[in-house]
Amino acid sequence: MYSQIKLSAAQFRILVIFYSLGDTILVVPGSLTADSKQEAWIPAILGVGVGVFLVWMYIKLSSLYPNKTLVELNEAILGKWLGKFVSLLFVASTLLFCSQVLFYVGSFLTTRIIIQTPMLAVHILFMGIVIVGVRLGIETIARCAEILFPWFVIPFLILVFSIFPQIHYENLQPLLEVGVKPIIRSILVFTSITSLTFIVLLTVFPAHVGEPDQRNRAFFTGSLIGGGIMIIILLLGILVLGNTYTRIALYPSYELARRIEVADFLKNIEVIMAIMWFLSLYFKTSLYYYATVSGLAQILELKNYRILTLPLGIIAVTFSLIVYPSIPYEQTWDRDTWIPYSLLFGLFYPLGLLIVGKIRVKHSASLSK
């Protein structure tokens, strides 16, 4: 069943763009300005560069066994039982990440748009839509992303051009004030939220992406475009809102949209602009959830993952209510725990797998001679 799935390189590129933005578009502006203040755009640019290196590493890892997903790769490199154990830890992590993004969805909507609505109702409704998409398959999710991508691009362009007259270039000054340590920490923050979770995409890439000559380039360009959009939103936040307000605002990118003024009669345009956030959050949650259910199905050697979508969906909703008991707890987790956890998940684990895999492939080649 899994081997028959094929996405085009263009569809995969769009998925990478949505995935790299995801909750990043809500979280990163405040997180980076907290450390690097008006210079937050510098670690963002450097973070995109680090992301390109990580994509290169993931491509190298996946090229060892290009017809295998990450779960199958674990078993091929580490052996059946150790591979299954590592895959189980991976699936548990993706379920946790899915719950985290679900929390951001509920928090964002219930504090900014539908204030009277219980968070549980938002989580159930949103997760229900995610489950429907995942049950229909990754091909359907990719086609939807391709069709809906203009609905992301158009509001983004409206945001940029509408907010441009409110830019204050003096908000970028003074330059080179904060020092090296905050910049390095901000690079880690940016990379941990954007690129270090790209390893999740190896549940789709390259085994289920066609056009072998273009798919690697699609991975690179998708990460660069997503990173570029994030840098633009971060810069606009600093230039329009100032680094102090960007730092203290819960969702600075949404506050940007509230500053849009289109004549006197057109009000609350930020609700229309929120389409951008809904789309990026939906596709990131869907990819996390697809990695969870398809990964667990492969560990359990099930022919069809769809039987797992409902029970794991209930678990994801339950986790989303307890993963962050409060906003201060969420901020402490993001600051103190998330960075080392993401480094283990997105750097040391794939790097170790790549080294062991290279040794195993070389050993197999020498034996065949």
DSSP string, 313-336: HHHHHHHHHHS-SSHHHHHHIIII
Residue 23: per-residue pLDDT: 85
CATH number (3.40.309.10, 3.90.1010.10, 1.20.1740.10, 1.20.1250.20) of 2-350 reads 1.20.1740.10
Residue 4: per-residue pLDDT: 65
Residue 28: per-residue pLDDT: 84
**Nearest Cα to Cα of residue 39 among 152, 179, 199, 226:** 179
**Nearest Cα to Cα of residue 186 among 337, 18, 335, 54:** 335
Q: pTM score > 0.85 for this model?
A: yes
Residue 368: per-residue pLDDT: 65
Residue 369: per-residue pLDDT: 60
Residue 1: per-residue pLDDT: 47
Q: Please work out, in degrees rounded to the nearest 5, the angle formed at the alpha carbon of residue 80 by the alpha carbons of 350 and 134.
A: 65
Ranges of the chain with pLDDT below 50: 1
Please check whether residue 255 is in contact with residue 241, taking contact to mean a CB–CB distance below 8 angstroms.
yes
* Domain spans in the chain, listed from the N-terminal domain onward: 2-350
Burial of 302 (0-12, 13-18, 19+ CB in 10 A): middle
DSSP state of 209: B
- Distance separating alpha carbons of residues 288 and 227, to the nearest angstrom: 19
